[in-house]
Chains A and B, each alone.
Chain A
């Protein structure tokens, strides 16, 4: 089974696609058969970042044609061992992917025969995005050191936490839980999974144990991208400690990636940043982050919530 790395982050422009393509290239460079999938439908641009300006086929074909398998929509890239499922030609938002299609896609992704699969999830916290994020225990969060981006990443994190809790309950029980949370913690607490988990510990102790097991299996990662000279380098560490303390979720800080104007240049010239500017601080950071992530991977588990 492939290692699956869902890559999410709050705000647009934080560098999810750039990091997906970079991590994908580094993985392919190690000789691993690597597939990057653009699930940021509607705003797809991963193909451009991996050197395939006009992909001949893509994810939309899988959705539209019943007989097609997901692996039939894969295209090669100019880089050895790196493959792509493009999101271009999709004019709908992933949030609108119908339920059956989503399940079909999730199953197909898990069956893919590659060493690593990276999912560029785009911004947003639609249920579909959350479900794709939860397909593997290796979800990666990307943020920049700006309050706007951090706010979004915290929202995404709490949404994912809620979504995972939600899998354990049916609609009515979940509603009852929500009501109970408001009764106990006040109306400001509905968006706080940490309050809900306390209620669950009290009224569904067995489910609480199951959830604890599930959450302790997650190996979430946090990357701070576009870090400039004067930014606080300890930010990622502070965030991960705080999340652990207050949400009880373990997120490992995988490193900072420096801001570099050459990223823009490489994108514009349609060349690989890692190759053209391989001695820059940013390229070093990318290699370090990639090493971190692969090293602490552990084993890929099969999740079947649905």
Chain B
């Protein structure tokens, strides 16, 4: 959760369902104004002047878009193409009650599970390549990548497991120093990465990695 307001779609901003009728949209718009207008008690002191202005202008935009049939249609298309809205195939015509045509969905993600840990550990012990890399006294992102490929683990799996963002993982594996997060955070990342691949001892290896990276020329 915890999407910023600006990341919500117009329906979410106004707290309405994607099949809301114009009456509901108007009602929701007025309700939103009551909360976000400068004199409003509910949001008193909650936002800075700038934040409030931004929110109000988004609400205006949301309202103007959804209240206009053509603009709304275009916007729905856009949401559908982004995968945020599903054009629902209505199931049985026998159902008489109204059915919503759209359904907001955010994460179509399917969970990929890392192969079991025992298998990983066995592979690590048997692999000559991994043994050699771990025997060096330096450990960089490229080494991590080599180990990961040797183990046959996809970067997506690591992202799933550790919840670390994709681009961070890539920057690490490519030793893209300028794009790496600050050292305090990087240390946490590399630990999770090592744990995820069952590489041990985690503390020692993460320290080795941090030392190696620190010696890279800064861009």
Chain A residues in contact with chain B, CB under 8 A?
145, 147, 150-151, 154-155, 172-173, 176, 180, 188, 194, 197-198, 201-206, 208-209, 212, 232, 234-235, 238-239, 241-242, 245-246, 248
Contacts and interface: CB of A to CB of B under 8 A. Distances in A.
A201 B3 CA distance: 11
Given A238-B34, A239-B42, 18 more contacts: A147-B41, A150-B42, A150-B45, A151-B44, A194-B2, A198-B2, A201-B2, A204-B185, A205-B162, A205-B163, A206-B192, A208-B163, A212-B1, A232-B41, A234-B34, A238-B40, A246-B47, A248-B2
Nearest to B40: A238
B43 interface: yes
Contacts of A242: 35, 42-43, 46
Contacts of A188: 48
A261 B181 CA distance: 59
Query: What DSSP secondary structure best describes chain A's contact surface?
Result: helix
Interface in B23-64: 34-35, 40-48
B45 A180 contact: no
Interface of B: 1-2, 4-5, 8, 15, 34-35, 40-48, 162-165, 168, 181-182, 184-185, 188-189, 192
Contact of B188 (A198, A203, A212): A203
20 contacts: A147-B44, A147-B45, A154-B44, A154-B45, A176-B182, A180-B182, A180-B185, A194-B2, A202-B181, A203-B181, A203-B182, A205-B163, A212-B2, A234-B34, A238-B35, A238-B42, A239-B42, A241-B35, A245-B8, A246-B46
A208 to B, nearest CB: 7
A206 B165 CA distance: 11
A147 B189 CA distance: 43
Contacts, number: 71
B34 to A, nearest CB: 7
Nearest to B189: A203
B219 to A, nearest CB: 18
Given A150-B44, A209-B163, A239-B42, A197 B181 contact: no
Contacts of A238: 34-35, 40, 42
A155 B192 CA distance: 35
A147 B4 CA distance: 25
B2 A197 contact: yes
A245 B188 CA distance: 29
Contacts of B1: 212, 248
